[in-house]
Structure 1
Amino acid sequence: MSNKTLSILSYITIIGWIVSFIKSKDHLPKNDLVTYHLRQGLGFFLVSFILNIALSIIVAMIPSLYFINLVGIVLFIIWIIGIINAANEQKKALPIIGKAFENKFGFLDR
């Protein structure tokens, strides 16, 4: 697989992220673009997972706050932006959450 494909795949579900991670280990030397998007993709999945659980609990306790589930639309837009950045082979952080994950997940560098 090409580096561009692996970068895009890192945003397509957690299974796609795992496939991209395993395939990127086969490429030597490591590609900075793929590693960058693996970081961004993993960070996005962690944030969206935690946020969805928290919002589900809040809405279950206070049903009148059902409108906060619209945060899912914001997450969808962020996800699309990540895929577009990977397709354009750009190392741009995801809006709102991307800067937090640029230097995290050190295991990806090995």
Structure 2
Amino acid sequence: MEETQVPKISSVARIHNQSFSQSLLKVTGTDLENIVYYKNNAPTFANVEPQGLQGFACAVADIATHSKLRRLEFAQDAHGWLDISAFDFTSMVWADSFACAQEKHSICLLLGLVGECLLEPF
């Protein structure tokens, strides 16, 4: 399989691989900060232009693998859709605290946020 002939791309941050980021900007016109590959279930995001994202992802994969993959096919998610997503970190919202206590009907309940729940866009 072709996939075994190219190194795994788990995360590419601009600060750590500036030549990749410059190549991506030159070929696609996109100044991307980071690329992350999620395996298994990940948060669901809505993409308004799936075909555009597919084309962009193929261009990125072509650059990242130095054109060593001739066939690029997307896996399907549990709903039969192509398993590809993009999300925007240009604005972020975060929790002021990870826990709070609320009283309801004379019962005190501790509410807690963990992991990605503390930070949006996750």
Q: TM-score, normalised by structure 2?
A: 0.25
The structure richer in helix per residue is: 1
Bigger RCO of structures 1 and 2 (CA < 8 A, at least 6 apart): 1
Larger radius of gyration: 2
The structure richer in strand per residue is: 2
